[in-house]
Amino acid sequence: MYIEFLGIPRERAGVSEMEIEACTLGEVLERLSARCPALSELITADGLHPSIAANLNGDAFVSDLGTAFVENDRLLILSSDVGG
């Protein structure tokens, strides 16, 4: 899965994008927390901190940790206030 970061998540991750193998949002967040320790402060047991949002394929914001992904999905993790 391809992940892109904007705003504070980009600053914390230290990169603008990366690829991660994961089947659910919960797995993505777990792997991101391990790969980007500074980003882990924005990841809680319930998902992303309320100031952070995740958008799947530019179509929908997702927050359910059980949200399933398929090959070639793209996840954008951004500050909730990005874009006004």
CATH says 2-79 is which class?
Answer: alpha beta
Q: What is the pTM of this model?
A: 0.90
pLDDT for res 54: 97
User: Residue type for 84, please?
Assistant: G
What is the pLDDT, as a whole number, of residue 57? 97
Question: For residue 82, what pLDDT is reported?
Answer: 53
Looking at residue 84, its pLDDT comes to: 46
pLDDT at residue 80, rounded to an integer: 83
Q: Give residue limits of the domains in the chain.
A: 2-79
- The CA-atom distances, in angstroms, between 42 and each of 33, 71, 72, 79 are 9, 25, 25, 10
Mean pLDDT (10-residue bins), the chain, 84 residues: 95 95 96 94 92 96 96 94 56
